[in-house]
Chain A
């Protein structure tokens, strides 16, 4: 190695440049070889199935005969027929009240759950950022809901929210907050609340940890300076803490929103068959697999994809979120 170092100044400028160029080419070739397998796999499991789903949405394919479908254009989205009486009948997902109900449920669920999770997560993060005895234990405890599989937490809460034998009704009755037992998951008024409770319980820890990581990046001397100047703690929070963790928070919120908008498992298990909680993913799968309306379900899946993509672009554009983390480098 030492010998190499010494030789270097002796080499002429031309060959040195040639070497750098060679080296650069070799690196690019390495990049291609190293990236190819991953890109190939992603093309197979993501791009191709997505393209096929979109294609199916323009056909009348059925579940039992995947290759027997014919091109029907936009019929699954919207089509109309004029009766002899002159009345026009519209059909398709875009005039399907069940679909719009699912869209409404999805947005309602996503915005409320992520809103609560952000506020509660921030609160817990502030608590965990203070120094107190047993902090490690508390941090371990809040990781428990996050570690529990979604299906298991749906079952757990389904049992706790049971109308007859559930412990939640028992607690609320004993505290005198309700006068009679509530059928949390079955009643149309409370089904969405039940789903929200479980989701907020399960995902707030994730938010709290991301917020905590943001909080710990803030240099302590800023707080020191604020304390010396006698700034009120609430003012400190809104004028120092919040602006400083805003970038981290924006990224956390977008990931959570995306995750909330595709929710399927919790609702499928906790409140099956409730029109109050059916989201876009639930209704699309129902059509795809259970109701044998494969092409119709594909159209709904495609719409969900479009809606989510547009929401993300809008959010990134509005919030100027730096997703790749490369900008500050």
Chain B
């Protein structure tokens, strides 16, 4: 009587762990394969292997010594950091107003901000192109910072508003009793309480800016002003038909490792931020 029951249980557990294994392998195999490929050169590239066989770092050396890729990395870091900084400064005060003060039209304003974050970016491409040209920002990092605000700002406002709304009212009452001015309340009372939320939101906005492609492709023209995604997308070999897969994979691994590390370190916080925002970072 006991035997079939335990057998079924063992089978169930085995199947469950098999499912878990499939999920994990499918999730990480492509990245693992990119790492293997990035260590291969010459004809080895075109011999398919499932396990790492050699550890040739020449692809990495070539990418980092190339004339433009280090510059592209710097561009990406600069543009993304500046975008996040600007969005957070603008968003913290806006989120305070949206979450702690009741005023007419608040719901409508929130919906509009959400609407902007879901904007199809192509719809503003023509108008932004004109703006970027007219202000002389074309082919500079600031064209990208300006255009990235369209998705980082609504996102940060939205997530920070959700976080602030959950803080108890008493905190603010105490601040008012103590005679703090509104901006002092934000800086001395809310910011210290919110820094985990702010870091998460900033990180998600950073990832969004780091990965952006459409604006970066359209608003830059020279190889030295490109950001990393554009550089990787436009990597080409000596001839049109020869794609330098080894270099592409090395560059891809270089720009992805920091992101994966950050995401894994901030795992729990990111999940909380995503759920609050419901927006893809």
Contacts and interface: CB of A to CB of B under 8 A. Distances in A.
B181 to A, nearest CB: 9
Contact of A285 (B27, B211, B218): B218
Given A143-B263, A148-B259, A301 B126 contact: yes
B278 A46 contact: no
A49 B127 contact: yes
Interface string A136-172: 0111111111111111111111011000110100100
A53 B127 contact: yes
B91 A148 contact: no
A9 to B, nearest CB: 16
A56 B127 contact: yes
A53 B124 contact: yes
A167 B47 CA distance: 10
A18 interface: no
A217 to B, nearest CB: 10
B229 interface: yes
A103 interface: no
B116 A52 contact: no
B26 A201 contact: yes
A108 interface: no
A268 B162 contact: no
B101 interface: yes
A30 B274 contact: no
Given A35-B97, A56-B126, A301-B126, A130 B16 contact: yes
B45 A165 contact: yes
A149 B90 contact: no
Main secondary structure, interface of A, reads helix
A148 B33 contact: no
Interface in B181-233: 182, 186, 207, 210-211, 213-214, 217-218, 228-230, 232-233
Interface stretch (A93-101, A186-194, A206-214, A224-232): A206-214
Interface in A267-319: 268-269, 280-281, 284-285, 288-289, 294, 297-298, 301-302, 304-305, 308, 312
Interface in B83-134: 90-91, 93-94, 96-98, 101, 103, 107, 109-111, 113-116, 118-131, 133
A234 B91 CA distance: 44
Main secondary structure, interface of B, reads helix
B156 to A, nearest CB: 10
B103 A297 contact: no
A176 B35 CA distance: 27
A301 B114 contact: no
Interface of B: 16-17, 19-20, 23-24, 26-28, 30-31, 33-34, 37, 45-46, 48, 50, 90-91, 93-94, 96-98, 101, 103, 107, 109-111, 113-116, 118-131, 133, 146-147, 149-150, 153-154, 157, 162, 165, 177-178, 182, 186, 207, 210-211, 213-214, 217-218, 228-230, 232-233, 245, 248-249, 252, 255-256, 259-260, 262-264, 267, 270-271, 274-275, 278-280
11 contacts: A27-B101, A34-B96, A38-B153, A38-B157, A52-B127, A134-B20, A288-B125, A301-B120, A301-B125, A305-B123, A323-B114
